[in-house]
Amino acid sequence: MSLRLETLGGLRVLVDGADRPALTRQYLRCGLLVYLALERRAPRERVLSLFWPDRSPEKGRHALSQMLYELRQRLDGDWVTLEGDLVTASPEITADAVDFRNAVTEGEPDAGRLYRGPFLDAVRLADTPGFEEWVEQRRRELSGMLRVAQKRLVERFTHADDLQGAMTAARRWVLAEPMDEEGQRHLMTLLARSGL
């Protein structure tokens, strides 16, 4: 059994390839799954501070235990476990943001193809400041990684005198991140060189 989180450009939850839209409306549960899919494990106190910041430690621990129980019941498996003081994601939880991050880090030439838009674009999973701050940090990190990946690709095509390939890469960059000034500059320069 597998659990796939598609977090770039929105949010989809897939269990064994089947879309589970009802889970995306269970904001705290889905937020915890997304957080752990990217972080893999976290101290219990960190999780409590992100998702239940206004509760006492005892009530927060109870809420976390209840959520883990409900996730087991609804998703038929131990997707998230509590091991001592660590909250850990199952290896069967995967996320497109992790795949993208790994592809950029490993220098895959066309890593940008995995980026379908900003992390959790237009999605609000939990009304908690700590989690929202974490989402914003991941959004900036992944956007910066797109910039790195697309800049590499544009430069690779430019050095190979493949103007069409460079323009395609720059267009994909600008479409994915329209407010990125560097992507806009690269595209405008390439368009000027092509005479368009």
Chain centroid offset of residue 115 CA = 9
Judged against a pLDDT cut of 90, whether residue 178 lies above it is answered with no
**Residue 14 phi/psi, 5° resolution?**
-120, 125
Tell me, what's the pLDDT at 94? 96
Q: In the predicted model, what is the mean pLDDT of residues 31-56?
A: 95
pLDDT-based confidence at residue 196 (cuts at 50, 70, 90): low
Predicted confidence (pLDDT) per residue in 62-96, tens digit: 999 999 999 888 888 889 999 889 999 999 999 99
Q: What is the pLDDT of residue 185?
A: 92
Residue 26 has what pLDDT?
A: 85
Distances (CA, A) of 69 to 99, 180, 187: 28, 42, 50
pLDDT of 127 over the 80 cut = no
- Model confidence at 24: pLDDT above 90: no
Residue 113 near residue 8 (C-beta atoms within 8 A): no
The pLDDT of residue 12 is 94
Task: Tell whether the model's pLDDT for residue 166 goes beyond 90.
Answer: yes
**Global confidence as pTM:** 0.87
